[in-house]
């Protein structure tokens, strides 16, 4: 049975109330424009960036976050962080392999529960 470990690998600073996860090579696929959020506050209408005549990258990502709290947009995933802050990021290792990443939005360190019940011979959950 492999050992599950959490390794604190740093933090993700947030000043817009949202986190965006993607491969950095995809960001240039979307026009940056002036980099500002363009929104008509009274109507909640997201507007085109006047410098590029379409919604810029930041407006597209923010629209998804503000409307749905999370989801796929601009070749990545956005999630509302619930506010600004510096959020801890952990690497999840299963044995010697990198199994995932955990971003703590509430300041807690995760408790990992692994369910092996679908594998013959394992009937109980193991908590690490």
pLDDT tens track for 6-51: 899 999 999 999 999 999 999 999 999 999 999 999 999 999 999 9
Same domain, 38 and 72: yes
Same domain? 50 vs 89: no
Q: How confident is the model at residue 127 (pLDDT cuts 50, 70, 90)?
A: very low
Q: Are residues 51 and 36 in the same domain?
A: yes
Sign of the CA dihedral running 13, 25, 61, 73:
negative
Residues 62 and 42 in one domain: yes
On whether both 73 and 45 belong to a single domain, the answer is yes
φ/ψ region of 35 (left if φ > 0, alpha if ψ in -120 to 50, else beta) reads left
28 and 56 co-located in one domain = yes
Domain co-membership, 69 together with 24: yes
Tens of pLDDT, residue by residue over 90-114, are 998 888 888 889 999 998 877 776 5
Of 60, 80, 100, which residue sits at a domain end? 80
The whole-angstrom separation of Cα 11 and Cα 23 is: 17
Q: Quote the number of domains for the chain.
A: 2
Residues 95 and 57 in one domain: no
Residue span of the structural domain in which 113 resides:
4-12+84-127
Q: Same structural domain for residues 120 and 100?
A: yes
Residues 85, 82: Cα–Cα separation, whole Å? 9
Q: Are 101 and 34 in contact (CB under 8 A)?
A: no
């Amino acid at each position: 049975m492999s050992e599950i470990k959490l390794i604190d690998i740093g933090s993700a600073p947030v000043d817009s109330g949202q986190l965006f996860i993607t491969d950095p090579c995809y960001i240039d696929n979307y026009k940056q424009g002036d980099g500002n959020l363009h929104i008509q506050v009274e109507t909640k209408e997201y507007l085109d960036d006047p410098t590029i005549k379409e919604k810029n990258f930041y407006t597209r990502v923010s629209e998804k976050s503000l409307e749905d709290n999370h989801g796929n947009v601009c070749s990545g995933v956005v999630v509302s962080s619930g506010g600004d802050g510096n959020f801890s990021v952990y690497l999840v290792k299963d044995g010697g392999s990198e199994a995932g990443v955990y971003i703590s939005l509430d300041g807690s360190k995760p408790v990992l529960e692994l369910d092996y019940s679908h594998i013959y011979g394992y009937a109980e959950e193991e908590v690490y």
